Structure 1
């Protein structure tokens, strides 16, 4: 079926009752095959390989190469999976699968609506009684009483927690930078920006206002390649210096640097976050970010952008942890430090919130820490190859997955460090691809007030959740948390609504 056609067709004037397009076609199948006697019709859906393989060392113009490869992917990319409705006969299933080069193991029988994502169109119906109640968005308290965002950030770091913190905090900051006469330069990493981006509009405005603007637009962001190509061309047309990513690496870091002339010197302002510069997904993903004027973090951000633009190769940073340079090494050092602290009787604790955990070196380090007695809490939304609760190996490790109304996307790393606590946020998961094949940035949260909030409020809330959370057992199975009689339901995601820092 052509993707431009609606899958659901209204059958009454109020457009509240629908029939699927495939049912209409099936009911009229004889009209499509005149002089034949079709005896039945079944639905199937083919999934094709979405990867784009590029020999970057041979691609003279990455932008044109990506555009060409996207055309090839649309027409000729290899099938990797076929979904069929449960009633399709074995004979027909095998025939379709074999005709596109697939085998029985690539076939998924769907007992229900094939491609359930097409039902998302129903969300546009005016039925508020069937939808979640909208949440209220807050503004960081420090920004409510100050007109000058730069003066506010100089006084203290500003913490944002989306979707609970309005994303206008970030778009307004960039808009202020674009129009401020003392701002000299803006640099940013764009991974997934959305189709109608106020971020990109502000960058173009800044360039028109005579500021030096540089944007690293990651053309290899899967499923966003076409969108990013379009934005890259528009940015270039407005005089923005556009970099198309690094050879052999995806730039996944979420980083913005604003350079401002103040009191006969240049001062750097940095936004670093766990999520993309995308106001749309910011309403549906949980992410954290930091606005800071810390001089060492600012110097690190400058060095990182120089690395990304090819002007230098920095091998060490003052505050930031950068993949693929030293992020894994630093994380392993901090896990090892907790292990040593526990063995010598000092306080030791590890709490980590990430999307996925697959890195074998980190898993082994966590096992060693557990055997030493370090209490470890891992909040891992997706893939987790570590097995908790195995006697003599991981009995001190708990793994929780939180799946709720919002997509948990923030990455947080807490280490007790003998009482001298350290906490980091950033873009990286503990996966090979993040640590070895992507440019990632993780920043220390240095304000003790923010450390206490993230540890004692945010992380503690996820670990208390008995509504959205599931625990992983030693066999690799997940179990919903049973709520005891008299125990109150606690939804961590709703706990943050209205919170104000």
Structure 2
């Protein structure tokens, strides 16, 4: 399986500043007026974040169009493109429309007014949607046919297949369908967000009067119905062919599919008196009734039916997308899951990190003993999550010498071994503190369930700080080792989720470093109690010190460059939007410091602008794994600093979240990150390059970052076997 979506959906979250919330660059690293003026003289120096996101999804579409990739993986990228765009409309477009309607929208940092942004979104999103639909119909469907996989429409079925589909409809589908008519006694029905629907025109043969009806395509069935011999037909075609059974005695004139996208963002007002869990549960009920923000219709739909939908749903003409059918290609995940290994990426199985690997023993390595010997820098999914982070928590839960476990949880799988281990630890009498972020976008309901499960087991469950999301990835185990208490700490860039850890690229540090352990202990106390210690030795913690700490180090590199000692900045992130960080990078470029950015998604920085950013390059790597780690590298006069953590360069990460960056201990962990960055920024490495106009161009490099790392892992596995 591949994944190149918006991993935790957070790139889509609201990231605007209010007019009275300008960024500040404070002492001790505040540049002189001349330096600031040289940067701010370029008033068009920021790309628009919404349009940058659409260009990210265009890169996903370009992966689907890449004929060097296995065919079923290309089909999956088409499905990912669809779900990405759905989420973009549900969150970003919906939020933009809401702010415009309430008068809260202000001019973007890019200089565009909100309505200008919205108009460009509609134009660009429509172009991409049409390109996506045509490519599926004209290229991918014929390519699948050539490989013996046929996605056909109802009229293409032979008599026996139609009989088979009829039985399936009669036995499985018909009992769950609910046709909803529209007339004076039946108001226009509520159309739930992202549901696929049939708009049906029927006529009373006696009166000759025509009526409109809506039939929802049940999401509980596979999107494409299997007919045998690797032939599939869209579910709506099967329903459409049997509409007479739903409207007996009426004439079915025509039926056309449509789909509505609604505002599904969640806003919860927090205060000290209201239980956050209860507030969120109420808001999730309201989410289902958000206003429409997009209407997709099959291009065959006549104008009369479309006019009715537009009127009843209260959507604007610009929000209507006429597309070749079938709509809702998220269902291509089911096709991509077919057992055709010859049409997929070569199978990949993560291996245990060499420092945690078993040595001539069937018993798992003692993670505590291994970590005492040496810091372990994990790189998922190449290093197994199950035999590292998961084993760390499981061994802690079972170890009688462990006194306490403290952990943050943002997103985790419903059947999480991590949750089970924490429950076991609490039931064994250990002190277990879990900082739960139940407001993780679109995972709220699941998070509420397992938060209650942890509470019932006796864990101390805390929902973080009012007004701040807890997004940092921390785990600490306190162990009595006879000669004293020792802290074992894990700090990562990704969620404690055993499923996404096989698909997301992330880094994590396992360490017994006393200074780091003390910093993390203070931070947990801040999160669970009333203390607000903002000073840490080896951590940068948002909202207090991530932006200021990074900008300070950027300006320090400027000083190193002026002193003639090694200076360079390398940054890897999901998104780079924050103006203060970008302006500091511009100042570094103007001073002559080489700056290299590896950005998966949104980038508001313009590289290669004469006089501003000639020394900045921005590239993007997409592939079978979702690049998710955040790395900050400063050459620092030949004594490099490498930081990893959970924070992207976005306002909400730096101002409205608890985020953590940790400085990697000098030695092997820093060298590992250096090697990773060297490979990522090699000129031969396949990547998209960002131009000053905001367009991305693929360089056609012969070295594929992820495949190279997979091959290195395979060689290590064979060498150890």
Q: Does 1:164 align with 2:382?
A: yes
- Matched-pair contact (CA < 8 Å) for 1:59–1:65: no
Deviation at 1:191, TM superposition (A): 0.7
- 1:159-195 per-position Cα deviation (integer Å, ceiling 9, x unaligned): 1101100112111111110011110000111111011
What is the alpha-carbon distance in structure 2 between the residues aligned to residue 213 and residue 195 of structure 1?
Answer: 19
- Matched-pair contact (CA < 8 Å) for 2:686–2:700: no
Aligned residue among 405, 413, 422 for 2:641: 422
1:437 maps to which residue? Answer: 656
Deviation at 1:60, TM superposition (A): 1.7
Pair 1:389–1:151, CA change in 2 (3 A): same
List aligned pairs for 1:386-397, cutoff 5 A. 386-397=605-616
What is the alpha-carbon distance in structure 1 between the residues aligned to residue 284 and residue 698 of structure 2?
Answer: 41
Deviation at 1:91, TM superposition (A): 4.8
Deviation at 1:343, TM superposition (A): 2.2
What is the alpha-carbon distance in structure 1 between the residues aligned to residue 699 and residue 658 of structure 2?
Answer: 36
Runs of 4+ that moved beyond 4 A: 33-38, 465-468
Q: Which stretch shifts more, 279-288 or 90-99? A: 90-99
Flag the structure with larger Rg: 2
- SS of the aligned residue for 1:346 comes to coil
What is the alpha-carbon distance in structure 2 between the residues aligned to residue 260 and residue 106 of structure 1?
Answer: 58
What is the alpha-carbon distance in structure 2 between the residues aligned to residue 110 and residue 386 of structure 1?
Answer: 33
- SS of the aligned residue for 2:681 comes to helix
- SS of the aligned residue for 2:697 comes to strand
- 1:390-446 per-position Cα deviation (integer Å, ceiling 9, x unaligned): 111111111101111111101111010111110001011000011011111111111
1:478 maps to which residue? Answer: 696
2:208 maps to which residue? Answer: none
Aligned residue among 101, 108, 112 for 2:321: 108
Q: Does 1:85 align with 2:303?
A: no
Q: Does 1:49 align with 2:263?
A: yes
1:486 maps to which residue? Answer: none
TM-score, structure 1 as length reference: 0.94
Q: Which stretch shifts more, 173-182 or 243-252? A: 243-252
- 1:235-254 per-position Cα deviation (integer Å, ceiling 9, x unaligned): 11111111123211111111
What is the alpha-carbon distance in structure 1 between the residues aligned to residue 355 and residue 523 of structure 2?
Answer: 28
Which one scores higher on RCO, CA 8 angstroms, separation ≥ 6?
A: 2
Q: Does 1:492 align with 2:711?
A: no
1:125 maps to which residue? Answer: 338
- SS of the aligned residue for 1:81 comes to strand
What is the alpha-carbon distance in structure 1 between the residues aligned to residue 305 and residue 684 of structure 2?
Answer: 45
Pair 1:376–1:112, CA change in 2 (3 A): farther
- SS of the aligned residue for 1:259 comes to strand
Q: Does 1:19 align with 2:233?
A: yes
Q: Which stretch shifts more, 87-96 or 291-300? A: 87-96
What is the alpha-carbon distance in structure 2 between the residues aligned to residue 459 and residue 326 of structure 1?
Answer: 24
Pair 1:26–1:181, CA change in 2 (3 A): same
- Count of residue correspondences: 492
More helix by share: 2
Pair 1:447–1:151, CA change in 2 (3 A): farther
Deviation at 1:134, TM superposition (A): 1.4
- SS of the aligned residue for 2:264 comes to coil
Pair 1:448–1:104, CA change in 2 (3 A): farther
Q: Which stretch shifts more, 17-26 or 162-171? A: 17-26
2:213 maps to which residue? Answer: none
- Matched-pair contact (CA < 8 Å) for 2:367–2:391: no
Q: Which stretch shifts more, 387-396 or 141-150? A: 141-150
Q: Does 1:4 align with 2:217?
A: no
Q: What is the root-mean-square deviation in Å for CA atoms of aligned residues?
A: 1.9
What is the alpha-carbon distance in structure 1 between the residues aligned to residue 323 and residue 685 of structure 2?
Answer: 28
Pair 1:380–1:94, CA change in 2 (3 A): farther
What is the alpha-carbon distance in structure 1 between the residues aligned to residue 253 and residue 609 of structure 2?
Answer: 56
What is the alpha-carbon distance in structure 1 between the residues aligned to residue 681 and residue 306 of structure 2?
Answer: 45
5+ long unaligned stretches in structure 2: 1-216, 360-364
